[in-house]
Amino acid sequence: MTDPLLALRPWEAPEVTSWGRLPMNTVDRRAGALSLDGPWRFQLLPAPDAPVGAVWSSTRVPGAWTMQDTDDLPQYTNIRMPYTEFPPRSPADNPTGVYEREVEVPAEWSGRRIVLQVGAAESVLLVHVDGRPVGLSKDSHLAAEFDLTGVVRAGQRAAVRLTVVKWSDASHIEDQDQWWHGGITRSVLLYATDPLHLADVAVRARRDGELRVDCRVRDAAGALPGGWYVTGELDGLPLAQDTALDRAHEEDGRVSDFLGEVRLRTVVRAVRPWSAETPELYGLTVRLHRADGTVSDTARYRVGFRDVEVVGRDLLVNGERVFVRGVNRHDFHPLTGRTVSPEDMRADLVLLKRFGFNAIRTAHYPNDPALYDLADELGLYVVDEADIESHDHAHEIADDPRYLNAFVDRVSRMVLRDKNHPCVIVWSLGNESDYGAHHDAAAGWVRRHDPTRPVQYEGAAKRGWADPDVASDIACPMYAPLEDCLAHALSGRQTKPLIQCEYSHAMGNSNGTLADHWAAIEATPGLQGGFIWEFWDHGILQRVSDGRPAGRGGAGLYDNGVTAPGHRWAYGGDFGEPYHDGAFVADGVVFPDRTPKPVLYEHRELAAPVRLRCFRHEGLVLANHQHFRGLEWLAAEWELSLADGGTLTAPAELPALRPGETAVVPLPFELPADGGEAWLTLRVTTAEDLPWAPRGTEVCAPQLRLRAAVPAKEEPAVAAAVEVDGDGLLVHPLLTAAPTLSLWRAPTDNDELGGIATRWRSWGLDALVRRPLSVHRDGVSVTVVAEYAGPTGVVRHRQVLTPVEGGLRIDEEAELPEEFDDVARVGSVFETVAGLDLLEWFGQGPWESYPDRSAGAPVGHHSLPVDALFTPYLRPQESGGRHGVRRFTLTAPDATGLAVTLDEPRQVSVTRYRAEDLTAVAHHDELVPRDGCVVHLDAAHRGLGTASCGPDTFVSYLVAPGVHRWSWTLRVL
């Protein structure tokens, strides 16, 4: 007998989106359910129609089989499909997982409705129970439910088989920038309800306190029994039934024997509105009663009262124009792939809150349901995105009628699942799928079903940001140049909010010009923020010995972004896949173990709720940059950093300011009269324990310069003659490599993918040949002139070495030819003896910073071990730099070492690696640190930009041709 599920061949039938699957709804059935998570019998077949064998292995559910020691390993592609078949076809070699286990159906479920829920399966799910076909589902990131009431019997065992087909027609619209996996990636459960049950509950809670609850009631037996009714209460206060709705049903003929509808209402006086800053939640309970008053079903919700609307070119939350400080987030874990626990999701959101983010875009599919509960609780706005991306074949699919049902099905099921979450403020129709009739159809359904939220879709931008007749209420482009955004906002033609769905690409050492973007956003009406791409570096923990994922047994094998010996963070190509896109999957603001990258400190400062605006004679201007609350939840301390006098602290009392208000506060210190450089920092922390931060967690550290530096003059001193070798290179007891000119850096991901490094190599910047021209002694000074030659240009370098009190001053000049119009750096590089392991400096820090990413590194006195200065981006590259350094010491444990004073704030890096060391390897486990330190002192250093995906850095952060001058003093401690 032919299996009707296999007869449909759903892996190549785009018109088939489901069979036997129950409608999506908001009623959470996790409480009281029977969890089927854990070990299942498992076979991995070569194709969906291959026969099931007699030999079974074991696998864990939830979990991708690609992460559990099968021969089908993870594969990463960005745009390209991992096979050549054109939609809707799938390859003949199509891994198919067969999962089986027995389930003891509880005896007390006799007479009840029994439902199987599979949280997520990639990409086609076929369900059989006791050999009988039950149903099928597509849509890899939403749950599928199946009614087993007529298939299983209470008190007896049932054999459940879940067959998951990896590739299908649906894969062509799940072509997202992430690892390809296969398997059951979210929890599986079995639950029971009374035959008379709540089929759906829709909650609408407005910021004025008006609450409306629409309930739909069904009975598994068919016709509804007489006398049933629904009650509700909000934090113990009863809701009233809206009798007008019942009368309307009678008048318009919508009364049904099989579907009941009830509307409950109330108005909450003195309501506490929900927002990302003030995530106030109320407890709602809805009960369905039989005629005798007994309860047949119950649903519980946490309700947030808030309004979202687009008015003109502003997105308003509770009537306020809010800045959207967002990040894109995948469901990801380095040990389990797509399976993420609630504890891990909480850790994700807690970290985002601590670093100033207030919004998430669920790129590019609905996330695990637990994430929305957490966003409601912790306070994060969510752009909820449907599981649609057809990147490789976007144009063909957008208007292909075979895929129309799939688009509308995926968008509508997302809305039906998540509509009661106050955190969801925008519905997104998907990502990078061109723009066609399917998007208009899906948008029409959403606007009819849920008029309380705007709809967005990036692909509609092809019709223009201002076009009012597209399926997007928000202009949400990707990586639009800032000048284009400003021009649009100032053009007079803007018709809707401009909030970029992706605007700063965090691949490797990146996110340059973030501060410039936010300065423009905060100053320009019509610009309202955007979402950084993305949260995670998607590095999978890999055992180097066999090239396989470390899997669940890998816990404890990584820390602070670094893996233990024998393991590494794998990216595209590391699992032997023939088609891949390399390290492009490593583009997050955190490492795979959730260690923050330096950019997070930059973002935290740009999102600071408290700002120091300026220093006037009467005091400091302090501002509250929040939208909805005062400063009472914060505490603070003043910190005065003196270039020549250490650091002073004093308690700070924050003024009572409403959102947007400013106040003048007195200067907390009397400045010393010595005239040295002075910086005032306000260390702002949480004043009490919060769900996302314990008391004392630093929130921001705004800073003002109170006094500029006075240039110091150093007179030549009578000392031992400067020693140079025959090529004019300095000979020094603490240096193993003399100071030479450097124009090269180990290319960042932005340098490589943006094509910048290709130009540098064509100029020979990675292998310039030094040719000494002259060595001249003039009294105690030595002047060395040399040329650094490449295939296309010559740089003339002049170095003057002069003894000064206690050391040596080095004055340098480099003249870059016109063809070197954009080099990586201009500066000096030298290497030290071993044993100098501690860097102490006055300048920006303590974390890594660069010319176009330095707003989050306050000026002060900082100290770190040399090994802690390096940032282990997944692909080794330029890292570890500190911007604005005035002076530093490199010392051994006995306090001996060297000291460097710079003529003005400069870019400095101290690591264990030469640029060629970093460029020569693909992973950090291949790097061999040097015993000494490699020190760069840069007169100018190129900005980072985001050119791997998006605009490069601004012209103001480029290193131009012409003459560059710098000087520094080297002393022995």
d(CA 677, CA 695): 32
**DSSP letter string, 317-375:** ETTEE--EEEEE----BTTTBT---HHHHHHHHHHHHHTT--EEE-TTS---HHHHHHH
Look at residues 472, 451, 280 and name the one whose alpha carbon lies nearest to residue 378: 280
According to DSSP, residue 589 is labeled: S
551 in Cβ contact with 572 (< 8 Å): no
Instruction: Dump pLDDT digits (tens) for 518-564.
Output: 999 999 999 999 999 999 999 999 999 999 999 888 878 998 899 99
Catalytic choice (389, 432, 534, 848):
432
Position 759 scores a pLDDT of 97
CB atoms near residue 28 (< 10 Å): 14
Which pLDDT belongs to residue 351? 98
pLDDT band at 216 (very low <50, low <70, confident <90, very high): very high
Q: Are 324 and 358 in contact (CB under 8 A)?
A: yes
Cα separation of 298 and 288, whole Å?
6
**Is pLDDT at 401 greater than 70 in this prediction?**
yes
* pLDDT tens digits, 601-648: 999 999 999 999 887 777 899 999 999 999 999 999 999 999 988 899
- Give pLDDT, residue 392: 96
- What would the two tokens of residue 750 be? 């932005």
The whole-angstrom separation of Cα 34 and Cα 26 is: 19
> pLDDT by residue (tens digit) across 647-674?
999 999 999 999 999 999 999 998 888 7
Three-class SS of 880-916? CEEEEEEEEEEECCCCCEEEEEEEEEEEEEEECCCHH
**pLDDT in the model for residue 508:** 98
Quote the crossing angle between the two packed helices 342-354 and 369-378, to the nearest 10°.
40
For Cα atoms 542, 548, 552, give the angle at the middle one, nearest 5 degrees: 70
Task: Give CA separation, 863 vs 189, 847, 897, 929, 934, in Å.
Answer: 52, 10, 15, 20, 17
End-to-end CA, the chain: 88
Lowest mean pLDDT among 142-146, 253-257, 448-452: 253-257
36-51 residues labelled b (16+ CB within 10 A) or e (exposed): bbeebebbbbeebeee
Identify the band that residue 248 occupies on the pLDDT scale cut at 50, 70 and 90. very low
Radius of gyration of the chain (CA): 31
**What is the enclosing helix (H) or strand (E) of 604?**
helix 598-606
306-317 mean pLDDT: 98
User: Quick one: average pLDDT of 190-201?
Assistant: 98
Angle at the Cα of 521 (from 517 to 522), degrees rounded to 5? 120
Tell me the residue type at 552. Answer: R
Q: Tokens at residue 344, please? A: 């891990």
The confidence score (pLDDT) of residue 252 equals 52
In the prediction, which pLDDT does 710 show? 82
> Could you read off the pLDDT of 68-87 as tens digits, one per residue?
999 999 999 999 999 999 99
What is the per-residue pLDDT for 253? 45
Residue 175 confidence (pLDDT) above 70: yes
Q: CA–CA separation, 776 vs 5, rounded Å?
A: 88
Per the structure block, which two tokens stand in for 161?
């088989």
* 346 touches 319 (CB < 8 A): no
Q: Which of 174, 261, 385, 502 is flagged as catalytic?
A: 502
Residue 246 — pLDDT band, cuts 50, 70, 90?
A: low
| 144-147/113-118 β-pairing | antiparallel
Mean pLDDT in the chain? 95
On the question of pLDDT at 789 being above 90, the answer is yes
Say whether 723 is catalytic. no
Average pLDDT rounded to a whole number, residues 582-588: 97
534 is catalytic: no
SS3 202: strand
Q: Greater confidence, 646 or 413?
A: 413
| Percent above pLDDT 90 for the chain | 92
Higher pLDDT: 921 or 257? It is: 921
**pLDDT over 70 percentage in the chain:** 98
pLDDT of 805 above 80: yes
506 and 303 Cβ atoms separated by less than 8 Å: no
Produce one character per residue of 673-688: b if its CB has 16 or more CB atoms within 10 Å, e if not.
eeebbbbbbbbbbbbe
pLDDT of residue 616: 73
CB neighbour list of residue 890: distance below 8 Å, 6 or more residues apart: 832, 836, 838, 839, 866, 897, 898, 899, 900, 910, 933, 935
Closest by CA position to 603, among listed 508, 683, 686, 535:
535
Kindly state the average pLDDT of the residues 7-27.
96
Q: Kindly indicate the confidence band of residue 717, based on its pLDDT and cuts at 50, 70 and 90.
A: low
> What is the average per-residue pLDDT within 160-175?
98
Report CA 375 to chain centroid distance, whole Å: 15
pTM reported for the whole predicted model: 0.97
CA angle 234, 235, 237 (to 5 degrees): 60
